[in-house]
Every structure is written in C-alpha cells, then in structure tokens.
Amino acid sequence: MRQVITVKDVETLIKNGTDISAIPADAIITPAAQDLLSELGRMTARSTTSALQPSAQTENPSGHVSNNSGMDIESLFNSPENAHRKEQICEVGRRMWARDYLDGNGGNISIRVDRNLVLCTPTRISKGFMKPADLCMVDLDGNRKAGEKKPTSEILMHLEIMKAQPRAVACVHCHPPYATAFAASGVQPPNKILPEFELFVGEVPIAGYETPGTIEIARKVASHSSDHSTILMANHGVVAWSDVSVEDAYLKIEILEAYCRTIAITSQLGAPPNRFTSGQMKELLNIKQTMGVHDPRIGKDISEIALQDDAQWRPGVICASPPDPKCQCQSKKAPVAKDRDESTEELIQQITDLIMQRVIEPS
Ligand SMILES: [Zn+2]
C-alpha cells in the first residue's frame, strides 16, 4: 500500500532532521504537504517522475507543455498516480449513478493533481459507465491540457472552488432528488435533528440560481466555500468539495441526500421532530472540532445558532415544545382561512334565519 504523506508527516521529518528525499518515490503527497515541500525548496530532491510537483507551466521547444519540474504534461496525465485518480473518479461516478444521483449525462467530478492542474470528467457522458480513458485534464483557467474529450461544461465551478480553497483536492457535483428538491424549493435543510448530518455536513447554504456552466454560478457557489464544503445550488443540485479525497466529497453528498430524504419523510408524520438542545448541539460541535472538521458554528454561542424556520419545511407545523425562541414558526402558523370562516358564519346565519322564520310564521 502506498504511503500518504501529509503536512504533519513533513513537519515530523523536518523536526527529526530526516532528509525529505527519504519519502518513498511512489508516496501520495497531499497538496498541502506539496506546498510545504515546495516552500522548503526541496522538491528538486525528489524523483522527477513524481506527478505531484508544483506546476508553473511552460512550453518547451517541442511544443509540449510541461510543469516546472520539466515533466511533460502528457506523461503526467498518464502517470501511475493519475491512473489511480482516474479510477477513483470512475468509481465515484458509478456509485452516484447507482444511487440515482445522476440523470442522463449530468454531474461532474474533479481531482486536483497539482497546484494548477485538475483531472475531470468530460462533457456528455453518463457517469455510470465512464472509463479512465474518457477523462481529461485542465489548468485552473479551464484550458484543456490533456485527454481526448472536452471537459465538463461545469468545470468552472470546480475550478473557482479550488482557487478559493487551496486545500481543496476534489469536487463532486450531482443532482440527487431529495437534496435537489430542497434546492428547488429554496428550503435549507433544517438543523439540530440528526447527529451524523451535523458532524459530517452541518449547515448547507443555497447558492442563488445562475445558468449552469457560467462563471456567475461558479462564483456564487465558490463564495460559500470558505464556511461550507457542501452547497446546494438553487434549482439545480448540490456540490461538495474535500481537502481529503474525492470519496470524502462524495460521502458528504451521500449524507446530505439521506438526511434530506429523512426530513422529507419526517415532514409527513404529523408530529414535529425533537430538536437537539443547546447542550446536545454543543457536544456535537466539540466532537466535530476534535475531528478537525471546520464548522463556522464552532466556538459561537450555541443559543445564537439560528434554527431554521419549521414553517418553511413543514408548512402549518410549529416547533417541538418548548419552541425555540429563535424560530420564526410561531409567528408563521398556517394562516387561518379567514374568508372561509366568514362565509361559514354567513351560511349559519342564513340557515338560522330560515329556521326562525318557519318557527315564527303561522302555518
Ligand atoms: Zn449540474
């Protein structure tokens, strides 16, 4: 099994005075660790066959684009490291297709292979039947650098997220039905209900609608990426990014979709769900902090964490008792059908008048 080198590993090597060249040539080095190695100016000590060198790209006399390690882009694209990444992308595509998260040729997946290079799915292909040979590679500006097929039309969104989040190593986008239903209705999934959702996903914002594939939607989604790694896209779907792996990004979507399905069922039961107390929520956020998962709510006054409006996702239903004072649902109870009440009153009056008339009138 290939060794994975993280920033912590590099720091430990330096601390122990170990030469960086001791890192196995076939080790997988995380982007953050690559940055650190690069800063240390020791990358040159490593094998030039590594696919993970920083990539200020230049064009050599033969016309082949290469990164600043001198490695040919085509060789990098076909390296064993990227063969493995391509398999990972195809596997995530198959899993999403098998779970109905994708329709037609929808959805797209990317993995950052270098500071400025990204492997991605091509346009117009079912992600359930993709092969490694179908994939392509682009730079952070979206220019195709390798691969036979045209990159996904939604690549700009992946790239804007990666530009905004240098830690991001992968992005996954798809249209899972339950999460997409929340996005289509403009309803944020309610919080304080299930622990796994709070721990691995947390609050999910909805990026406003823009035409798919445009820089506008890419920027809108990326603007939420600092505080959120799972983002709903209004009237479209969901995107998740990860600083760990493409599978990690996919799992966030799987957790969100399962949660939205549970919430959709909960909303039909006729009884309000119990919500976590501030103490229970604080415990979950403490665990999340220990796990090293970012959540903008960590460290905040728990009582200040807004509770999504129940009236929005369960029309006519109010919070569990006692209601959260922050929740607006109390003031948004299902409106009384005033018109109907008035007409009912009128009808009752008419019937009463008729009866009284018959009683009073001599037969
Ligand atoms: Zn889409």
pLDDT in tens, 136-160: 999 999 999 999 999 999 999 999 9
pLDDT in tens, 164-190: 999 999 999 999 999 999 999 999 999
Q: What is the mean pLDDT of residues 58-72?
A: 48
C-alpha separations of 110 from 82, 92, 190, 273 in Å: 12, 10, 29, 37
Over 90: is that where the pLDDT of 4 sits?
Answer: no
More confident residue, 276 or 158: 158
More confident residue, 23 or 319: 23
Q: pLDDT band at 15, cuts 50/70/90?
A: low
Distance from residue 174's CA to the centre of ligand 1 (Å): 6
80-266 sits in which CATH class? Answer: alpha beta
- The residue length of the chain stands at 363
Domain with CATH 3.40.225.10 in the chain: 80-266
Q: Which of 221-230, 260-269, 295-304 has the highest mean pLDDT?
A: 221-230
Contact status, residue 147 vs residue 130, Cβ threshold 8 Å: no
Distance from residue 88's CA to the centre of ligand 1 (Å): 20
Question: What single letter denotes the amino acid at residue 165?
Answer: Q
C-alpha separations of 19 from 11, 14, 51, 56, 352 in Å: 11, 7, 20, 25, 98
* Phi/psi at 325 (5° precision): -60, -20
Distance from residue 173's CA to the centre of ligand 1 (Å): 6
Distance from residue 210's CA to the centre of ligand 1 (Å): 11
Contact status, residue 159 vs residue 218, Cβ threshold 8 Å: yes
Q: Which residues are catalytic?
A: 154
Question: Residue 42: helix, strand or coil by DSSP?
Answer: coil
Distance from residue 124's CA to the centre of ligand 1 (Å): 12
Q: Which of 168, 160, 28, 55 is nearest to 117 (CA)?
A: 55
User: Global pTM?
Assistant: 0.71
